Amino acid sequence: MIAVHKFAAFSFAFLIAGLACAAPAANPATAGQLSSSVSDSGPEPQLAKIFKEIEGKRLDMALQLTENLLRQYPNFRLGHLIKGDLLLARTQQIKSFGAMEGAPADKVDDLRAEAIIRLKGYREKPEAKFVPRYLLQMPPDQRYAIVVDTKRSRLYVYENDLTNGGRPRFVADYYMTQGKLGADKLSEGDKKTPTGVYHVTANLPRQKLADLYGNGAYPLNYPNEWDKRQGRNGSGIWLHGTPSNTFSRPPRASDGCVVLANQDLDVVAKNLQVGLTPVIISNSVEWLSLDDWAKERSELNKAIEAWRSDWESRDTDRYLKHYSKRFKSADQNFEEFAAQKKQVNAGKEWIKIKADNLSVFRNPSKEEVVVVTFDQDYRSTNLNNQMKKRQYWLREDGKWKIIYEGSA
């Protein structure tokens, strides 16, 4: 047991606890959709107990809990800073976070920001009756999806619950680090994390990486076709771990990558499927009730089925109504694409189209865009072809239209 000491006045934690425990600002898009349920991921439950003890002026217990936390997470710098302040409080009044003499102000600010955002994430865990708006449909062979909220520095894992018609089911959430200058990446070297719908493209083991990337790295397909269309560029956006001597990094500390603590990455990595798992990065996740989610999913599935059926009909004009006049593929604009389809369909007596393993993910942006991917089986009078296709659908004048399509 820790010996009982008479601690000096200790005030910094009241500020942290007050910020971390305050109710989030009202937001019409998310009001009433977040709960204060505890997360089962990472050190946040222990941190919350520590700050509760500090608020109650039970500093011996707070110190004991902090030492327990550090035994579990020896490289947790935030924990070491809290312990240092608690020890210092035995001899003098503490009026600020990171009160040890000579502590670098920028490092202390980083750790304070981490404490606040971890505890907010701990309290703002999404309720089971709400799901991220972006996960409209996952294919049967996709087990999990990743959703990142840069505002909350939180990474959410959702399971494809096939027993409930493919409804996304919350599994866990983790603290994460983003780019030094925030989100909405535009160009190479801007130190920002991109926002959009991405997919894991490779698995790089730690043996092939510098220590900076920790226990492994999973490159993402940034820039995707929609990014390129918007003039965004850059490369090397990965989901990866932390250096071996570091438990976690500040909320904004990467060059644009999404960074997890190594032990969290190890858990998440078990569920990543190269070429299949989506990593959807948003400035602030939009949550939908299950009823509203089902309505959006149904509407888009009907639009996709109408496109498939109209292609089979060989009524080219009707088929082309599913395409935006701003459509562009890798090498064709709408006019060139339409001319080619009319010429091809004129030589067909019949066409059969199958679209299997369909995924539909809404892009987290101001524009209403969804990313649709499926296995296409095309059969006709004189040609059979199979491919994995990806389309971007944009809502124009209240109707969903295809603005890009090509091989995935």
| Nearest residue to 368 (alpha-carbon basis) of 326, 389, 398 | 398
- Supply the pLDDT for residue 121: 84
- Supply the pLDDT for residue 24: 39
- Supply the pLDDT for residue 105: 82
Q: Which residues contact 281 (CB under 8 A, 6 or more apart)?
A: 148, 150, 183, 193, 194, 195, 196, 198, 258, 364
Q: Are 138 and 167 in contact (CB under 8 A)?
A: no
* Residue-level pLDDT, tens digit, the chain, 408 residues: 334 444 555 555 544 544 444 333 333 344 334 333 334 557 988 988 998 888 888 999 999 999 999 999 999 999 998 998 899 888 877 767 776 677 788 888 899 899 889 888 887 888 889 999 999 999 999 999 999 999 999 999 999 999 999 999 999 999 999 999 999 999 999 999 999 999 999 999 999 999 999 999 999 999 999 999 999 999 999 999 999 999 999 999 999 999 999 999 999 999 999 999 999 999 999 999 999 999 999 999 999 999 999 999 999 999 999 999 999 998 899 999 999 999 999 999 999 999 999 999 999 988 899 999 999 999 999 999 999 999 999 999 999 999 999 998
The gap from C-alpha 60 to its chain's centroid, in whole angstroms, comes to 38
- Supply the pLDDT for residue 14: 47
Would you list the domain boundaries of the chain?
A: 12-123, 130-285, 289-407
Q: Which residues does residue 393 pair with via DSSP β-bridges, in sequence order? A: 370, 402
Superfamily of domain 130-285 in CATH is L,D-transpeptidase catalytic domain-like (2.40.440.10)
Q: Are 308 and 176 in contact (CB under 8 A)?
A: no
Residue 344 identity: V
| Nearest residue to 276 (alpha-carbon basis) of 167, 362, 200, 202 | 200
Q: Are 255 and 237 in contact (CB under 8 A)?
A: no
CA–CA dist 195, 190 (Å, integer): 14
Predicted TM-score (pTM) of this structure = 0.88
Residue 32 dihedral angles phi and psi, to the nearest 5°: 75, 10
Helix (H) or strand (E) holding 75, with range, is none
Q: Are 197 and 280 in contact (CB under 8 A)?
A: yes
Q: Are 55 and 14 in contact (CB under 8 A)?
A: yes
Query: What is the SS3 assignment for 308?
Result: helix
Q: Are 186 and 193 in contact (CB under 8 A)?
A: no
CA–CA dist 251, 69 (Å, integer): 20
Query: What is the SS3 assignment for 384?
Result: strand
DSSP string of 148-201?
Answer: EETTTTEEEEEEEEGGGTTEEEEEEEEE-BEETT-B---STTS--B--EEEEB-
Residue 66 dihedral angles phi and psi, to the nearest 5°: -65, -40
Q: How many CB atoms lie within 10 A of CB 379?
A: 14
CA–CA dist 138, 166 (Å, integer): 7
Q: Are 250 and 110 in contact (CB under 8 A)?
A: yes
Considering the domain 289-407 in this protein, what is its CATH number? 3.10.450.50
